[in-house]
Structure 1
Amino acid sequence: MANLFHALQHINLDESNHAFSIYSSVKEQKLLNVPISKPMFIMVLSGQKNLGKNNELICQPGEFIFLSNSSAINMRNIPKDNHYLALLIEFDFGDFNGLQVNQPHKKEYYIGKSSPILETLLQQYVEVSTLAPAAVISSRKRELLTLLCHLGHGIFAVAPQLKDNTYGLR
């Protein structure tokens, strides 16, 4: 995860138009009823993220959570070793267009572990998205979705779905 961490350190956070967000804190945060309007990928890089009314979902460093577009969720960001740090990527509904799945929409979240190939793809996404036009960024998001499925992560049980198991705009 060192290369992804390095890439994030070299991002100019003053630029307002990123295709991702970096969330950091040095003190524990309790966030209540956080609206999730679009599917979201959150990779915890440092600290711990707890989700749910009773903190029943826990993400450690090197784990990610994929959230569906749900009404709201409670979160706690818990710093360890001086800070909490996470990479967030929000997906547009169009990013799912044409992707075939066999999983019905059943869950509001999916938690998974990172891997070297996922970390490399995230690093490339961060680096490219600071330079690339919107069409390229959308392609890179689709690449991320495809890789997560290829690695066996059940994210499509979380994402928005149309009747024919083909994802599309709402």
Structure 2
Amino acid sequence: MILVTGASGFLGQHLLEALAQQPLPVVGLYHSREPKTTYPNLTWKKCDLLDIFAVAEAMQGISHVYHCAAIVSYDPRMRDKMIRENVAATANVADAALEAGVHKLIHVSSIAALGRTPIEGSGALISEETHWEESKANSSYSESKYSSLIQCCQPPNPRAMPLLLVLRHFAATVPCSQ
């Protein structure tokens, strides 16, 4: 069984649309309002990712997790909340997946987690080889995505699991077909 966090969000909806074509059962997690999207293989479950017990319960019987949930904001007033909640939610998902024996955790990150180009205006490109550098020019969103990534990937962190796959995407702006 597949679990998708942030299933009612932009990326999550697109992922559900693709997973609906597969014969596997899917559990879509949502936070506040139950989405209207339905597929024969989809079950919706309300879950607060900041509640480790709720996340652990949602992981029961799950083999694969796509962690798409995140607060996305460029409002400076949201900085502390976004960083705190994105990092805590990712830690809870990773911990619960590890504890439940999930086979594969796919953490959907962002190109923003790579930070900025080494020298602004130099024409240098950001790549997988780019290392994070603290900078006042980094957005709060990029700080939250980088810090969330560290929750899963940074040895000797116990969450640095062999079952983790990280996807870093660029800005997604195409509307869902539904």
User: Is the structural similarity TM-score above 0.5?
Assistant: no
Q: Which has the higher contact order (CA 8 A, sep 6+)?
A: 1
Larger Rg over CA atoms:
2
Point out the structure with the larger strand share: 1
**TM-score of the pair, normalised by structure 1:** 0.27
Point out the structure with the larger helix share: 2
**TM-score of the pair, normalised by structure 2:** 0.26
